Amino acid sequence: MHIAFFDSGAGGLTVLHEAIKKMPGEHYIYFGDSHNAPYGTKSREEIRELVFKAVDFLTAKGLKALVLACNTATSAAVAELREKYDFPIIGMEPAVKPAIENSREHKVLVCATDLTLKEEKLNNLVRNLNAGDKVDYLSLQKLVMFAENFEFDGQQVTAYLKEKLAQADWSKYDSIVLGCTHFIFFREQIRRFIPARIRILDGNEGTVNNLMTKIDIRNSPEKKEIQYYISGSRAAAGHFQRYLDYLAKTDTPKGQVW
């Protein structure tokens, strides 16, 4: 039985990367719907249709759990997926809760895709935390396609981040939440354009911890081969692996706070 990770493209690899570190003995399947990326500019209905198609494909492979490693797909479809399937389905949630709990007099800037920012799921989360006046939003939608093109540090990325992040009045904030799995690839670049005291948070580790409470973990020390699919076909050799290699290269030492 496999643990499947699903995303609109390569973003979910940032979550898979965390999972492999904590559970190296599992059988993983990664499905990136890159031919249909980005999801964040699509309608909720379009996203739902794509997600259901992908999950039907994955289910046929025999799953012990599914990680919707995409905030946008989670916002649009997690409730309906849980009604339809009986294996554990773990969704993403922007790390607004820990950000709010640790911020005192300052506010939190939540960055996500266009769709995530306008969906009810995020609005409900903020409302339930009673944090409406403590949270501002910023879409960094274009980072999704930069990541799809394996472009993390080029001139266009730098110009985009510089322009977008200059729009925020940083004296108001003490943390920034990366509420899209593709954004994790740009953590270091984002760091360059915000004050050093601002903390950068994401939901990846929390998601993997959540997954670990829902499954029986295989206690095998050997590393297993990962099966990669891109929009329903086998991905070309190395296509997704190079993202994991990039993440391993840019990983932070344990315990370092972003």
Q: Does 204 bind ligand DGL (CB under 6 A)?
A: no
What gap in Å lies between CA 243 and CA 10, rounded to an integer?
7
On whether the CB atoms of residues 64 and 215 are closer than 8 A, the answer is: yes
Q: Determine whether 111 is an active site residue.
A: no
The single residue of 19, 70, 178, 244 carrying the catalytic annotation is: 70
| Residue 214: HSE in the Cβ half-sphere, 13 Å Cα cutoff | 18
> Mask: binding to ligand DGL, 38-77, rule CB under 6 A, as x and -?
xxx-----------------------------xxx-----
Site for ligand DGL in 71-110 (CB under 6 A): 71-72, 92
Least Å from the CB of residue 197 to ligand DGL: 26
Q: Side by side, which strands form the sheet with 135-139?
A: 135-139, 107-112, 173-178, 199-202
In the set 2, 3, 8, 96, which binds ligand DGL (CB under 6 A)?
A: 8
On whether the CB atoms of residues 1 and 63 are closer than 8 A, the answer is: yes
Token pair for residue 242? Answer: 């190079």
Cα 133 to Cα 12, 114, 247, distances in angstroms: 30, 20, 35
Least Å from the CB of residue 7 to ligand DGL: 5
In the block, which residue shows the tokens 């050093």?
196
What gap in Å lies between CA 115 and CA 17, rounded to an integer?
25
Would you call 6 helix, strand, or coil by DSSP? strand
Site for ligand DGL in 138-197 (CB under 6 A): 144, 180-182
In the set 34, 113, 139, 204, which binds ligand DGL (CB under 6 A)?
A: 113
The single residue of 3, 168, 180, 211 carrying the catalytic annotation is: 180
Q: Determine whether 70 is an active site residue.
A: yes
> Which positions lie near ligand DGL, rule CB under 6 A?
7-9, 11, 37-40, 70-72, 92, 113, 116, 144, 180-182
Catalytic residues: 70, 180
